Amino acid sequence: MNYQKTIRTPISLTGVALHSGAAVSLRLLPAPVDSGIRFRRVDLDPVVEIPAHVSQVTETTLATVLGREGVEVSTVEHCLAALHGLGVDNAVVEVDGPELPILDGSALPYVEAILEAGWECLGGARRRLRVTKPIRVSDGDKYVLLRPHRGYRISYSIEFEGRFPGDQHYYLDVTPESFALELALARTFGFLADVEFLRSMGKARGGSLENAVVLDGNAVLNPEGLRTADEMVRHKMLDAIGDLALAGHAIDGHLIVHKGGHALHTELVRALLARPDAWELVDETAPIDRPVPAPTWREPVYAYA
């Protein structure tokens, strides 16, 4: 049997919120068995706690937003991806504002901090949500599909017809090791031509070349270039892992996505949980307490179409 895990010691991170541009402080705290991941708005009196569950999703435009009793916490996907990807089942995420810090635009700062803090085994068995029948959600030519599979596998494809980065595809069997080494590094990305429009909507006000990959025509504007040539599709996979963590359990299944995003990811989770005949909860037996290597990446790639 594999046991549930939490982080061993508290973690503190600070940064800017991607969309509001506000300075934000965050703390990750250990949590007891069967408590799951919970976000806590500590800037409010009384403090409001929001479970990381798809039933709490209030918005999916450019970020995944959770809400409860009129209180929201935004841009939770990278933090959830790091916790879920590394196999941390229980934690409290304290934040002093309505949006998590974007940090460097990836899950890497979270992963490095969690690996430094270490994790602690708790008393309860870790359970996985094992997909037993296919579940599919689509929107035009965009779709997400979960198929039965032992383990967590993701096949993801993106298309940007007529503009860089074009078509990208990536496939991964997700484990703590593969997440840390192959996905955690991938940063959020956007197009320079969209920046002014997004800011007029109150979005991307904290965005910069320090926390996002910015594309202009065929060029990558970040002076250091890309961390991998396929960084964009890897980041979409990272987002999907964070969004599917809102099922409340680690997943056994093959996730296949074409041109997905937060809206389709979370709609898939809703569709899955609404079909109890299509899944079962099983005790996890494969150990995930092996040492996880420190994340790294190849030399920067200056990518042009």
DSSP result, the chain = --EEEEESS-EEEEEEBTTT--EEEEEEEE--TT--EEEEETTSSS-EEEESSGGGEEE-SSS-EEEETTEEEE--HHHHHHHHHTT--BEEEEESSSB-B-TTSSSHHHHHHHHHH-EEEEEEEPEEEEE-S-EEEEETTEEEEEE--SSEEEEEEEE-TTSTT-EEEEEEE--HHHIIIIITTPPPEEEHHHHHHHHHTT-STT--TTTSEEEETTEE-STT-BSSTTHHHHHHHHHHHHHHGGGSSEEEEEEEEES--HHHHHHHHHHHHT-GGGEEEEE--S---SPPPPP--PSPB----
C-alpha–C-alpha distance, residues 125 and 287, integer Å: 11
303: pLDDT strictly greater than 50: no
pLDDT tens for 102-137 read 999 999 999 999 999 999 999 899 999 999 999 999
The mean predicted confidence, pLDDT, of the chain is: 92
| 262 flagged as catalytic | yes
Residue 302: the pLDDT is 36
295 phi, psi to nearest 5 deg: -65, 150
C-alpha–C-alpha distance, residues 194 and 188, integer Å: 14
From 50, 300, 278, select the one nearest 148 (Cα to Cα): 278
Residue 200: the pLDDT is 80
pLDDT tens for 203-250 read 778 999 999 999 998 899 999 999 999 999 999 999 999 999 999 999
Residue 218: the pLDDT is 87
* Of 20 and 88, more confident: 88
Residue 305: the pLDDT is 28
| CB of 81 closer than 8 Å to CB of 105 | no
144: pLDDT strictly greater than 80: yes
Catalytic residue among 84, 235, 254, 262: 262
Structural domains of the chain, with CATH: 3-125 (3.30.230.20), 127-283 (3.30.1700.10)
pLDDT tier for residue 199 given thresholds of 50, 70 and 90: confident
To the question of pTM greater than 0.85 for the whole model, the response is yes
Q: What is the 3-state secondary structure (H, E, C) of 73-95?
A: EECCHHHHHHHHHCCCCEEEEEE
Q: Which amino acid would we find at residue 2? A: N
pLDDT tens for 267-280 read 999 999 999 999 99
From 279, 240, 231, 278, select the one nearest 258 (Cα to Cα): 240
